[in-house]
Amino acid sequence: MSSALLSDDPCPDAIVAVPVRNEEERIAACLKAIDAQEGLEPGRLGLVLFLNNCTDGTEALVSALVPTLSIPVRVLSENFSGAHAGWARRRAMDAAAAWLGDAGNAGIILSTDADSRVPPNWVARNRAAIRAGADAVAGRVELDAAEAALLPPSLPARGRLEDLYDALITEAEARIDPDPHDPWPCHRTAIGATLAVTRSAYLAVGGMPEIPLGEDGAFIARLLEHGLRVRHATDVCVTISARLAGRAPGGVADTIRSRCEEPDALCDARMETFPRAVRRYAWRRRFRRMHDRGLLARNEAWARAIGIAPVEARRIAALPLGQAIAEAERLSPDLAYRPIGPRQLPGQIRIARLGVAALRLGFGLLGFARRIAGSAASGRPVADPRGSRI
């Protein structure tokens, strides 16, 4: 692996890490957006570019662009036949962690993609969330409007339904099983195009998972399993490409293309029917309370109820909370995710609106939410505690 420093080398306290592969068409916009960050003192922000397996004009373009930037940049380059998304992102973030280490065990590592454009307040808003107590920040993404306009109309229409349903079940989760470090409004996106993490938290979980697909989601899951505070910030949003030919197999481009080819492909795993989602969140709340009181090992009825063997129940009871929840959901046949298809979205949105309205009002909370969801699913009206019928 070769590396080069193409500008002055101070020790900033926030480093943006970008894996780059054959991005000559988009890298300029990416770098200019990172360089245009507002609300930061000079010298506080640095940039790591990890160029891997580039066969187009990306390297030459980067060499020409970096000297024009106002922030310090470290450029690394490597060709590796076994390269994949998780490997490249880890290399970039590890280099950022090492740079921060020059100034001590402090600072923030931010991740984005070479085909993305961050807004001018991206670093400042991530930093604000971390100053407010988060160990890591997961932001949202939006497709590039011009590129999205070229997609089949059915795809953006499906996306809007998915976004609406995702927001409803996320609000239900936040009200049923609230996380004091990630209060509503929040979201559940976990994508490498907009991640931020303290260097200490990054090292505490062993860094970015070096897996071919889904490294970003696995990283957030790892942080939560270790009991670290993750804020899914709604005010952090990055523009990503809507292209159909991406660089990472199984990434956003592949998802867009597959949904163009298979309009009825299932939604993301967490998009279950609303009653099932409510049951999951209620189970997590009960499990969390039992764990906090040390009750999991005393009474294994919880394990029998979700189909977990006694020996596994005892092992799970001894784990830290985040890991215990993850293991219980992984092993329980009753808690396996059963995602819905796009044709089910309108009906589930109607049910979820009723259920979330009940949760907002606080009338019976879970019991009323379950009743209203079940009645909506069966077509029967349900009595509103205020006296009307819904």
The CA–CA distances, whole Å, from 202 to 123, 151, 191, 207 equal 17, 37, 16, 5
Instruction: Using CB atoms within 10 Å of the CB of residue 347, give its burial: 0 to 12 exposed, 13 to 18 middle, 19+ buried.
Output: middle
Give the model's pLDDT for residue 382. Answer: 41
Instruction: Say yes or no to pLDDT of 389 above 90.
Output: no
For range 135-145, the mean pLDDT? 96
Instruction: Say yes or no to pLDDT of 377 above 70.
Output: no
Per the model's pLDDT, the better-predicted residue between 160 and 370 turns out to be: 160
Q: Which residues pair with 141 in a beta bridge?
A: 238
Q: Say which residues have a Cβ less than 8 Å from residue 85's Cβ, sequence separation at least 6.
A: 19, 192, 212, 213, 215, 248, 249, 250, 251
Instruction: Say yes or no to pLDDT of 160 above 70.
Output: yes
Instruction: Say yes or no to pLDDT of 76 above 90.
Output: yes
Which tens digits make up the pLDDT trace of 183-198? 999 999 999 999 999 9
Which tens digits make up the pLDDT trace of 301-356? 999 999 999 999 999 999 999 999 999 999 999 999 999 999 999 999 999 999 99
pTM of full prediction above 0.85: yes
Give the model's pLDDT for residue 381. Answer: 44
130: left (phi over 0), alpha (psi -120 to 50) or beta: alpha
pLDDT band at 262 (very low <50, low <70, confident <90, very high): confident
Give the model's pLDDT for residue 151. Answer: 86
pLDDT band at 251 (very low <50, low <70, confident <90, very high): low
Tell me the two tokens of residue 259.
């949904």
The CA–CA distances, whole Å, from 125 to 46, 70, 131, 139, 199 equal 16, 20, 10, 10, 17
The CA–CA distances, whole Å, from 337 to 196, 237, 254, 264, 361 equal 28, 27, 22, 18, 28
Give the model's pLDDT for residue 263. Answer: 83
For range 106-132, the mean pLDDT? 97
Give the model's pLDDT for residue 75. Answer: 98
Give the model's pLDDT for residue 120. Answer: 98
DSSP letter (8 states) at residue 66? G
pLDDT band at 128 (very low <50, low <70, confident <90, very high): very high
Instruction: Say yes or no to pLDDT of 161 above 90.
Output: yes
pLDDT band at 78 (very low <50, low <70, confident <90, very high): very high
185 preceded by cis ω (within 30°)? yes
Which tens digits make up the pLDDT trace of 12-34? 999 999 999 999 999 999 999 99
Residue type, 96: A
> What are 157-161's contacts with CB under 8 Å, separation 24+?
158/259, 158/263, 158/342, 158/345, 161/342, 161/345, 161/346, 161/349
Give the model's pLDDT for residue 150. Answer: 87
Per the model's pLDDT, the better-predicted residue between 192 and 254 turns out to be: 192
Q: How many angstroms separate the CA atoms of 153 and 260, rounded?
A: 10
239, containing H or E segment: strand 230-240
Instruction: Pinpoint the alpha helices (H) of 36-176.
Output: 58-65, 85-101, 122-131, 145-148, 154-176
Q: Which residues pair with 197 in a beta bridge?
A: 109, 136
User: Could you tell me which of 112, 96, 116 has the C-alpha nearest to residue 198?
Assistant: 96
How large is the greatest C-alpha to C-alpha distance in the chain, in angstroms?
72
Backbone angles phi, psi at 20, to 5 degrees: -135, 130
For range 355-375, the mean pLDDT? 70
Instruction: Say yes or no to pLDDT of 250 above 90.
Output: no
For range 78-84, the mean pLDDT? 94
Q: Say which residues have a Cβ less than 8 Å from residue 219's Cβ, sequence separation at least 6.
A: 190, 195, 205, 208, 209
pLDDT band at 242 (very low <50, low <70, confident <90, very high): confident
Q: Alpha-carbon Rg of the chain, whole angstroms? A: 23
Per the model's pLDDT, the better-predicted residue between 220 and 102 turns out to be: 220
Mean confidence (pLDDT) of the chain: 90
Q: Are 303 and 309 in contact (CB under 8 A)?
A: yes
Percent of the chain having pLDDT more than 90? Answer: 79
In this structure, the chain runs to a length of 390
Q: Are 27 and 114 in contact (CB under 8 A)?
A: yes
pLDDT band at 379 (very low <50, low <70, confident <90, very high): very low
User: Could you tell me which of 240, 238, 242 has the C-alpha nearest to residue 148?
Assistant: 242
Q: Are 116 and 30 in contact (CB under 8 A)?
A: yes
For range 63-78, the mean pLDDT? 97
Q: Say which residues have a Cβ less than 8 Å from residue 16's Cβ, sequence separation at least 6.
A: 34, 45, 46, 47, 48, 96, 110, 111, 112, 123
